Amino acid sequence: MKLCTNSKMEGQKTMTDKERDGAVRLTVAGGYGRSIDVAKGQYVGIRDIEGGQCGDFWAIDADDFDHFFSPSHTWVHLGRIQPRVGDELVTNRRAPILTIIADDVGWHDMLVPACDQQRYERYYGATGHRNCHDNFLEAMSKRDWGNRPVPQPFNLFMNTYVEPDGTMLIRDPISKTGDMILMIAEKSLIVVVSACPMDLNPVGGQGITDLEILVGDTKEATLKPMKKRADS
């Protein structure tokens, strides 16, 4: 399945979005991106609904768009390229922005930039393919992002491995149905998630599927199973 551009809008609320008890669940359609506000102290989780789906994740300071989560600064802060539960993620100004509270997978990527149109065209000969770079811009289109460049994402559930000789390998994701990562916001944020449309190498596993963003005031509310609404 090649995910070419169509008219689906990021801001459109879908039948699978749910709100209850101070918690919000937002479905990110496979191949697309969405944004959500997260207040300081709130929990934010990303769930792989069906398993095997990579998600590009960005966290932007809600009060200063030039201040955002930085994977490269976080490598230096942590002294490794794989974050763990309890780790503090930092910004391009080395300030705390998120802390990992729980992680079902424990293996993500902080090396690879967002896929973009040039990557699909140059390496795969694919034109008009959806991509995480443009998904970010679509998700931020109503938030006055302007002409700022797209920051490097935190590639959740992406399975990259660096060999001793420096060779980087990309393998199928190892996340299973319902696996998630849960973080707490250290400042008020705009979170953007792209359910990566890469279906031309192992990043996409066995197909492009949906992700879910969960935001709540407490860990319990964020993770609480929610009944379907009457209209869903």
**What's residue 206's pLDDT?**
73
pLDDT at 13: 43
Cα-trace Rg, the chain: 17
In a domain, 146, yes or no: yes
- Measured in whole angstroms, the distance separating CA 221 from the mean position of its chain's CA atoms is 21
Mean pLDDT, rounded, for 181-192: 98
Number of domains in the chain: 1
Q: Does residue 38 fall inside a structural domain?
A: no
For 40-66, what is each residue's pLDDT tens digit? 999 999 999 999 999 999 999 999 999
The predicted-structure confidence for 57-105, as pLDDT tens digits, reads as follows 999 999 999 999 999 999 999 999 999 999 999 999 999 999 999 999 9
User: What is the pLDDT at residue 22?
Assistant: 66
According to DSSP, the residues that pair with 55 across neighbouring strands are 156, 195
In this prediction, residues 26-48 reach a mean pLDDT of 97
- Alpha-carbon distance of 104 to 151, in angstroms, equals 25
Q: Share the mean pLDDT of the chain.
A: 88
Q: Residue 232 pLDDT > 60, yes or no?
A: no
Confidence class of residue 224 from pLDDT cuts 50, 70 and 90? confident
Q: Please indicate, yes or no, if residue 22 is contained in any of the structural domains.
A: no
Return the percentage of the chain with pLDDT > 90, whole number. 76
Residue 203: φ, ψ to 5°:
-50, -40
Does any domain span residue 63? yes
d(CA 106, CA 169): 17
| 213 within domain boundaries | no
Q: Is residue 216 part of a domain?
A: no
The answer to whether residue 8 sits within a structural domain is no
What's the pLDDT tens digit per position in 193-208?
999 999 988 777 678 9
Domain extent, residue 158, equals 54-89+105-129+141-179+194-207
In a domain, 100, yes or no: no
Residue of 20 and 6 predicted with greater confidence: 20
Local structure of 33: helix, strand or coil: strand
Q: What is the pTM of this model?
A: 0.88
